[in-house]
Structure formats: C-alpha cells, structure tokens
Structure 1
C-alpha cells in the first residue's frame, strides 16, 4: 500500500439548524497541496509525497456543515515517480489517477468513522447512509 501514514490537522463540525424531512449529504474530498516529504521508519528514512486533503461535508438543506483537513504520506510504487508527480503538480496541477484513488479511498475509510461519531453526538444526519432493514408484506 503506497500510504504509510496520515495526520489529522483539523476537524470542524457546525450544527446550524434542526429540520425534519429529506436531507441530502455530499462528500467532497479535495487535494489542496503536494510537497516532498520524508518519514523516519525503523528501517531508515523513506522519501515520499505529503498530500494535503480537505474533506468537505455539505448538507442540503443546510442543517450543518463540516470539514476535515488531513495530511497523507504517499509513496508511489515506483520511487522514481516522486519527482515526476511533484513536477506535474507544480506545472499544471495534474495528478496521476492512482494517487488520487489511493488518497481518496484511504481518507474516506479513515475519516468516516470519526465523522459518523461526531454527527451522532451532535444529532445531525450521518455523512453516509446506514443500511436499514425493511419488513416486506407477504
């Protein structure tokens, strides 16, 4: 797995109003910045890319809003790609699909349990729908 670690930088949830009825929730992870990084492991230093991600949760109607900022340490499968990825980002703000998929999937799986717990405590709708059992008539 190319992601070796992450740091949550900021979590912000705000409850605005209480409404009934249908509430739509959308999740929008956005990669804000990339930079060369280094992680110290027991086996030595590892060079990689630090990826800053803003995870925005919006509600419609606006009953709440939330954002989570996280930094992910990404190591491409081919170490020589680090410079190419950073150059492409600096020149054109373009990222390889593999990096985007890995980072978004990782941050979603790591942050959703936290977001669901906070939403439960604040009595706002969960950011992802929970499965519900339905009794069917025979």
Structure 2
C-alpha cells in the first residue's frame, strides 16, 4: 500500500465569539466514504486505487468557534485488496487495520497542522497541546 496524496476539498473556519474562560476544545476525525479510483501514471499505466474521504473537526465550546476540514487520502493498492476494502465498507465491516491506520494517521497529521494554522489566524488556542520550553529553577 502506498499513500500518494492528501487533498483538502472543503475548509470552514468560524469564530462566533471571543474566547471565554472554561473553554473546551475537542477534535474528531472520521472517514465519510471510500471510493474506487483508478490512478493513471503515464499514458497507459492505470493502477487500482482508493479514495478515502475524511472529515476533521475541532470544536471550541461553549459555541466559541469551529474548524471543519474535508479532504481525501489517495491510496495505491492491489486490485484484489481494493475490491475487498470496498466490499467491507459497503457491508459495514471493519476495514483492514493496516490500511486504516495509515490512512487515518496521514489525514490526522495533515488536518491537525492545518487546524493549528487556522487557529492562529483566528486568535484561538491551538487544537492540540503544543510543546513548550520550561525554565529550570535556579539552584543556589
């Protein structure tokens, strides 16, 4: 399996009011659909692939703001595996863990970085805890 691309198709960022004390930030990532997608490399070389459509959301509660990102992860896979994944998805069965783990991690990484950028643009706290430098206490 090879992930060959991640694209964003919809970006919605809304800030309804100023940040309030007791702000709660929650993040969610889910797969909305899986579609077959034949991928072309050159004039004649078509290979089987999958398009995993995902939705990532960050909510700033109570009703302060939201960040919603919709996109897709394109995966190159053997034809038999493509058909099995599509059948499992249609039948609401669990998808191969190896594929789902890679797809979800890829979508999560790309979407989280975008959400951090948008949160800064809107003067909101980052959707995930960022690393900080901490000064060590001076010893006497």
After TM superposition, the score normalised by the length of structure 1 is 0.86
The answer for the alignment partner of 1:6 in structure 2 is 6
Deviation (angstroms), 1:127: 1.2
CA distance change for structure 1 residues 135 and 119 in 2, over 3 Å: closer, same or farther?
A: same
Larger radius of gyration: 2
Alignment length, in residue pairs? Answer: 137
Corresponding residue for residue 111 of structure 1: 111
Partner of 1:37: 37
Distance 2:136 2:23 in 1: 25
Equivalence for 2:69: 68
After TM superposition, the runs of 4+ consecutive aligned structure 1 residues lying more than 4 A away are none
1:85 equivalent in structure 2: 85
Counterpart CA distance in 2 for 1:11 and 1:35 is: 21
Structure 1: runs of 5+ lacking an equivalent: none
**Structure 2 runs not aligned, ≥5 long:** none
